Homo-oligomer: A and B are copies of this chain.
């Protein structure tokens, strides 16, 4: 009677169930179900916050070093300020602070001699010569080759020890970090509420007493990354500064604060012991000038601490989709619990035969079925 659609709306099907009146079965199965429920609510929802969606931020980092270094090499006093010891100068999130150097002054392009295993061909590997081999071996010298190079060639056989710019330990680093969670329209800066101009003028980062101060002493940074300053200053190294933003945007935005952590990337003196490759960090840098109408340069082999500022961010906020997905998936797991209970009921209990009869109604083989139907 009525259309198919009409019929659909005038009835409702619900599974028929057996109510097993047994304390033993009841307790076991309820406990299993409770466990599943506790897992879904406690773990997925409360601990893992499965009712929230998450988004990562796009961010921007500015840095600024402060401090003046002083060196006195064989009577020559020199001053190193920010424009001299930071590479690059413009305050990137990845930069190098020079702590030691080998300076070769007054280089110009000409022919001079360099000690090298073979003077015949320019071998690119493992350590190339500093100049272009002319192919000539200089008289009366073994393996002393004539090269066209920036002469005099650099002699980096010994690294100044202690590092020339040990005073870098007291330099300070100021970090400014802005992040933006576009999915939630939230923008945060590491100068959070309460970190004003006044506070910044006097604070210094300390993991316990000033965990939000964005000004870091280089010596502290090195120590917190597990390095020894004297060692890293001599040969150079790399330190990662991780700014961790883990924000629960269901709470107030002002609870969304950065956590700084520090870890050494290279230059660990322990690594040196294990004969692993490439300890330290250095690069070459030249300042060009003209003298007597001739181009000259001062070559610096710079040993320094490289800082990589890495921003990790995740914001979480209530969202209906993951909530329903978690519920749906939870109901599925609930179904697994029912299956487990049924297996116990139907295969392990002494009265399993009886429960089987209660749960299942068997369609007889075809002949019997017809008979059965006729009888009914």
Spell out A's residues near B (CB within 8 Å): 8-23, 25-27, 29-30, 39, 43-44, 48, 58, 60, 62, 64, 66-68, 70, 77-79, 81-84, 87-96, 109, 122, 124-132, 148-150, 170-172, 174, 176, 178, 180, 182, 187, 191, 195-197, 199-202, 204, 215, 217, 238, 240, 242, 263, 265-266, 275-278, 281, 283-291, 293, 295-299, 302, 306, 308, 310, 312, 320-321, 324-333, 335-336, 338, 341-342, 345, 354-355, 358-365, 369, 373
Contact indicator B130/A81 (Cβ below 8 Å): yes
Chain B residues with Cβ below 8 Å from A302 are: 90
A17 to B13, CA, bound (A): 6
Q: Tell me which of A94, A297, A302 has the highest count of chain B C-beta atoms within 10 A of its own C-beta.
A: A94
Quick one: copies of this chain in the complex?
A: 3
A261 to B281, CA, bound (A): 25
Q: A26-B10, A276-B197, A358-B361 are in contact. Are A132 and B70 (CB under 8 A)?
A: yes
Looking at the assembled complex, report how far the CB atom of A99 sits from the nearest CB atom of chain B, in whole angstroms.
13
Contact indicator B16/A360 (Cβ below 8 Å): yes
A327 to B336, CA, bound (A): 8
Contact indicator A321/B60 (Cβ below 8 Å): no
The 4 closest A-B pairs by CB, nearest first: A328-B332, A328-B329, A83-B286, A331-B332
